[in-house]
Copies of this chain bind each other. A is one copy, B any other.
Amino acid sequence: MALGSLGFALLRGRLRGSAPPSGTLRGAAGRGPAGRRECVLPRHEATVISGTEMAKQIQKEVQQGVEAWLALGHERPHLSIVLVGDNPASHTYVRNKIRAASAVGICSELILKPKEVSQEELLDITDQLNMDPKVSGILVQLPLPDHVEERTICNGIAPEKDVDGFHVVNVGRLCLDQRSFIPATAGAVWEIIRRTGIDTFGKNVVVVGRSKHVGLPIAMLLHTDGDHERPGGDATVTIAHRCTPRAQLKTQTQLADIIVVAAGVPKLITPDMVKEGAAVIDVGINCICDPMTAKTKLVGDVDFEAVRKKASFITPVPGGVGPVTVAMLLRNTLLAAQKVIY
């Protein structure tokens, strides 16, 4: 796939590399945005994909979609968020979602419940939201307290309002290549790959992590048929996880044209594991203490500074997959309002 003009605007850092440290040729010659094949290129750092810029672009598209929808006389899309307890990270995520929704013209409401809330009461809430015609999308922020079964709550949301894509029917439809709500993080990885112009057809992809909300749907999107109702990436996909021996993981990632990491392990992916010119998408969000400053900071699962010297494309943390994930949630909410999927 050629890199579209859209991709250009969203890339920063391209070709800003230094002189080749070892004088070797760059393996990814010909992968450049213009598609030209050049025999000798100086080694340079990976293009850092700005998730922040891409998210702005997607949000702009969603905003235009909302305006067009309103212009047709429809009601404004409405997102209802249920937030349980006082987990600070959850509160931050929800705040970001509400702010982003507001920015694109999506109305939102926050339903706060104490951590002692019963499963029954949560199901009553989702029931009411399911029946409320003004509510387009419903999101119950995870994790939930231990006494509540997350699966039961996810399945309590009507599939047609399930903008997180966690309902069993949306999971099944995703796996069957049918139209469905795609979990926002997986949708973000897909969108980053597509908009950056990274080819997936017949490529080797390693997805590190098998979580049901992230690793699994990413693997589904990337390996499935590009001609189906919900097109897939037609890539050869390897699913690795915590039972994968370290040496085996390295063997697999060294073969990969694209590495997607969603393991929650800082510096899991080091440069020796990465093929020259591979694309590296970092879904990890880890809060660590910086030994230099003694302050906490966010890092991904990739040894970013080292790997960027070898990869063709790389996403940073923060500012990579995260912002795009929020944008994809807004897009799902618009799709729910438009009843495009159900």
Whether A210 pairs with B238 at a CB distance below 8 angstroms is: no
| A157-184 interface with B by 8 A CB criterion | 168-173, 175-178
Distance in angstroms from A340 CB to nearest chain B CB is 18
Distance in angstroms from A157 CB to nearest chain B CB is 14
A315 contacts the other chain (Cβ, under 8 Å)?
Answer: no
Q: Which residues of B contact A202 (CB under 8 A)?
A: 243-245, 248
Give CA–CA (A212, B223) in the complex, Å: 12
Interface of A, secondary structure class, is mixed
A190 contacts the other chain (Cβ, under 8 Å)?
Answer: no
Give CA–CA (A199, B310) in the complex, Å: 36
Output the residue of A201, A212, A244 with the most chain B CB within 10 A. Answer: A244
Whether A240 pairs with B236 at a CB distance below 8 angstroms is: yes
A107 contacts the other chain (Cβ, under 8 Å)?
Answer: no
Whether A175 pairs with B172 at a CB distance below 8 angstroms is: yes
A175 interface neighbour in B171, B240, B243, B248, Cβ under 8 Å: B171
Q: Which residues of B contact A234 (CB under 8 A)?
A: 241, 243
| A167-222 interface with B by 8 A CB criterion | 168-173, 175-178, 201-202, 204, 210, 212, 216, 219
A41 contacts the other chain (Cβ, under 8 Å)?
Answer: no
A251 contacts the other chain (Cβ, under 8 Å)?
Answer: yes
Output the residue of A177, A201, A239, A249 with the most chain B CB within 10 A. Answer: A239
Give the bracket for the number of chain A residues in contact with chain B: 35 or more
Give CA–CA (A201, B243) in the complex, Å: 7
Distance in angstroms from A200 CB to nearest chain B CB is 9
A255 contacts the other chain (Cβ, under 8 Å)?
Answer: yes
Give CA–CA (A177, B241) in the complex, Å: 15
Interface residues as binary, A228-247 with B (CB distance below 8 Å gives 1, 0 otherwise): 00000011111111011100
Output the residue of A226, A237, A249 with the most chain B CB within 10 A. Answer: A237
Whether A236 pairs with B241 at a CB distance below 8 angstroms is: yes
| A82-114 interface with B by 8 A CB criterion | none
Give CA–CA (A244, B244) in the complex, Å: 22
Distance in angstroms from A193 CB to nearest chain B CB is 16
A225 contacts the other chain (Cβ, under 8 Å)?
Answer: yes
Give CA–CA (A240, B252) in the complex, Å: 14
| A243-268 interface with B by 8 A CB criterion | 243-245, 248-249, 251-252, 255
A224 contacts the other chain (Cβ, under 8 Å)?
Answer: yes
A151 contacts the other chain (Cβ, under 8 Å)?
Answer: yes
Q: Which residues of B contact A170 (CB under 8 A)?
A: 172
The 8 listed contacts between A and B (C-beta, < 8 Å) are A151-B176, A169-B169, A170-B172, A175-B212, A175-B216, A223-B241, A234-B243, A237-B239
Of all A-B residue pairs in the complex, the 3 with the closest CB atoms, nearest first, are A172-B172, A168-B172, A171-B172
